[in-house]
Amino acid sequence: MVRERTRKLTTVAVLCAIAYIVMLVGRVPVVLFLKYDPKDVIITLGGFIFGPLAAFSISLVVSLVEMFTTSDTGIIGLVMNIISSCAFACTASAIYKYKRTMAGAVAGLVAGVAAMTAAMLLWNYLITPLYMDVARADVAAILTTVFLPFNLLKSGINATLTILIYKPVVNALRKSNLLPPSSAGAQKGKLNIGVMLVALLLLASLILFLLSYRGII
């Protein structure tokens, strides 16, 4: 029991470190003060492995470290990061916890996209006027033209990346003895291959949209 608890804490700590690193190297400015980074992918992987509480814990730790090291948005940025990451990762992992199949993962991630997008529309409406020192009506005017597409794009990319790397990451953690061996053989089938192909196509489309949105192509 103690060994398993120690292994779990070690794995969560490793995921926290990875999430922080990918946030640093993968941050891309998109529009206004909004930036894309893929840390929610790692947070969601932690949630898929250990449950939504682990996703919340990783989100909290990474957001706190980010606030004290690289962020220039202070406590407001901390709150928004936690809300954004938890709306996506905790929602997805809560659904996957009760249906640990590819269909459950996809359903959880779709729900995570919807939950994060809705949550961030609300919280950007409430908090952004304080951060940008503008009238709430000015923020309301760009909710559907700036914040809605940004959050759909961000969560969509993170959802597809999660689908694509979940099994390779879990296999790597097992080989490193950070997770116990699988109690059952991995399932293979046309559904998984089809989902992966769809995820790749969706990821390519979202990346092209991001590049177009930024005027790069």
The domain locations on the chain are 2-117+154-181+192-213
Which of 124, 123, 91 shows the shortest CA–CA distance to 110?
91
Host H or E run for residue 127: helix 102-132
pLDDT in tens, 66-101: 999 988 888 999 999 999 999 999 999 999 999 998
The percentage of the chain sitting over the pLDDT mark of 70, rounded to a whole number, equals: 93
Phi-psi region of 89 (alpha: psi -120 to 50; beta: other; left: phi over 0): alpha
- Specify which residues 29 forms β-bridges with: 35
| pLDDT band of 183, cuts 50, 70, 90 | low
Domain 2-117+154-181+192-213 carries which CATH code? 1.10.1760.20
Q: What was the pLDDT predicted at 33?
A: 85
Q: How far is CA 11 from the centre of its chain?
A: 18
Three-class SS string for 75-86?
HHHHHHHHHHHH
Q: What was the pLDDT predicted at 188?
A: 45
The SS3 call for residue 15 is helix
Maximum pairwise Cα distance, the chain: 56
Burial class (CB in 10 A: 0-12, 13-18, 19+), 145: exposed
pLDDT in tens, 111-124: 999 999 999 999 99
pTM as predicted: 0.89
